[in-house]
Every structure is written in structure tokens, then in C-alpha cells.
Structure 1
Amino acid sequence: MSVKESREQRSAIMRAVKGRDTAPEIAVRTILRRFAPGYRLHRKDVPGTPDIAYIGRKRAIFVHGCFWHGHECPRGARSPKANADYWRAKIARNVARDAAHREKLAAQGWRALTVWECELKDSPAVEKKLREFLE
């Protein structure tokens, strides 16, 4: 396999990474449907375009992939071997952008919650966390 072919394959893989309606996001929505329906998805009029928003309650829920958003779990702490400088910088930009969005939300009177991909291994704990956040 040539370098060009591997770059094209990697590019195709990266294009296929979804930004919305991911499996973790759908898992969180499934949990919420049981006790707190009425959410809105991907509202562009809310800072950060949260994955899930309760407009009247001013609550925003972000469902983050551990790798993409620099979580401190084993999956998020993995460091890519190929093009490592690029990925470190990209993840750092994502973390900074997430923090800026949370600040904007807070300035507008919103509360925000992040549900990490790794947390979904314990669905009852995620449900408890969501219930407490929405009370």
C-alpha cells in the first residue's frame, strides 16, 4: 500500500465520523425519553449548539467523545502515533472551544452538562446524573 493510498483511506475514514446522531448521543436521548421528553436537538441559537437542549429550563447537554474532546479517561488520554502534533493541537482547540461555549452559556443564564462517552458504560449512573441536572 502506498502512502497516497493510506492517506486517502484515512481521509475517507475521517469523513465518515459523524458529528451528530452518534451512538452515545442516541443512548443519552433514549435515557432522557423515559423521564424528560421535550428536548430539542442541535439548536444553533444556543451557544455551542448543544446536542440536547431544554429551552425553557435553560439546560444544555453535550455528549462528548472522549478522544475528540480530551477527556482524562484511558480512551481520551490516548495519543495518536501518526501526525501526533496535529492531533494534540486539534484536541486542545476542541477543549478551548468547549470551555468558551460553557462560558457563553453561563453568561446567558444557562446550565450545561457534559456526558462523556465512557460514562455510558454505566447507564444507571448516567440516568442519575441527568435527573439531578434537570431537577
Structure 2
Amino acid sequence: MSEGEAWVPPPGSWASSAARRRNMQAIRARDTKPEWVIRRLLHARGLRYRVAARPLPELRRTADVVFRPSRVAVFIDGCYWHGCPEHYVSPRTNPGYWSEKVARNVARDRDTDKRLTEAGWLVLRFWEHESSEECAEIIAAHVLKRRASPGLGKEAAD
């Protein structure tokens, strides 16, 4: 783009500027700091898991941490993208599009929870602002409880 030319977003882009587009592209879909910290704490407790895996192969959705034999799926949701009731603030730029996008994310989250629960999975959801130590403690307790359940069998190294 030469000097003086106005930036034009690519077709189909909702970016309001080149800087906004770069910012949005830099947002991580996985391996965020809250996910990384919780995984480290779980690993330190001796738990093994899959990262960014599909709990149900036929469902095109991934959980942040998956304990397959125990059938526990963990999601660490970002406050903005998943509509945290405490921290979500509607954007000033293009609020219609982004508010609808977040509403679709929330609806997809509820559908994912329903499908996994119907398939016998335990779904654990946490907000990115929650204490990582408390989240890891809750996750570990549920995984260990389900490991001990005769209906699920013993969990090998996941």
C-alpha cells in the first residue's frame, strides 16, 4: 500500500483498520496463558491429558484439556469471546457483528456441553480470570473421582 492510500480490508473481513486486523489475528485460539498454567498444575499433580483434542471424533469441536478414559472435557473460556457475565463489554466498533459473534459462541458452547453430557462426558468450564490453582484442584478432584468409578474403568496414561 502506498502512502496516502486508504486501507481497504480484504473481502469478508470485519476489521475496521489494518491495526485492528493485525490485533485480531494475533489472538491465540489455544495455548493461552490460563490454559498453560492450568495444564502445568495438572501435570504437576501427576495427571496426563490431551491438549486441544476432540472429545467426540464426530463433533468438530475441541476441548482445551481432555482426559479420554475418564471422559472429562475441560474448557478455559476467554471472557470476551465467550461472553463472561462479569467482564464482557460490547465493542464500540461494529458492535452488531461482534455481539452476534459472541452470542453464537455462547450458543455453540451450550450445544457442545449438551452433546458431550449426553455422550457420558463431564464438561468443566472455567473463565480465564478464575484462579488457576482452584481450577486445577477442581479438575483433579473430578478426574480422580471418575477414575475410581467402576463404570468408567481405570485411566491409564492418558
- Fold match by TM threshold 0.5: yes
Which of 13, 36, 40 is the aligned partner of 2:50?
A: 40
Which of 108, 113, 134 is the aligned partner of 1:102?
A: 113
2:138: which partner in 1?
Answer: 129
Q: Percent identity of the aligned residues?
A: 33
1:13: which partner in 2?
Answer: 23
Structure 1 unmatched runs, 5+:
none
The number of residue pairs the alignment matches comes to 131
Is 1:70 matched up with 2:83?
Answer: yes
Please say if residues 64 and 117 of structure 1, whose CA atoms lie closer than 8 Å, have aligned partners that are also in contact: yes
Structure 2 unmatched runs, 5+:
9-15, 146-158
Q: CA deviation at 1:92?
A: 0.1
How many angstroms apart in 2 are the aligned matches of 1:131 and 1:85?
39
Q: CA deviation at 1:2?
A: 8.4
Q: CA deviation at 1:133?
A: 2.5
1:57: which partner in 2?
Answer: 70
**Structure 1 runs of 4+ with >4 Å offset:** none
Please say if residues 66 and 73 of structure 2, whose CA atoms lie closer than 8 Å, have aligned partners that are also in contact: yes
Please say if residues 34 and 132 of structure 2, whose CA atoms lie closer than 8 Å, have aligned partners that are also in contact: no
Greater share of helix: 1
Q: CA deviation at 1:27?
A: 1.1
1:24: which partner in 2?
Answer: 34
Query: Scaled by the length of structure 1, what TM-score is found?
Result: 0.86
AA in 2 matched with 1:4: W
Which 10-residue stretch deviates more, 42-51 or 19-28?
42-51
Please say if residues 42 and 48 of structure 2, whose CA atoms lie closer than 8 Å, have aligned partners that are also in contact: no
The structure whose Rg is larger is 2
Q: CA deviation at 1:61?
A: 0.3
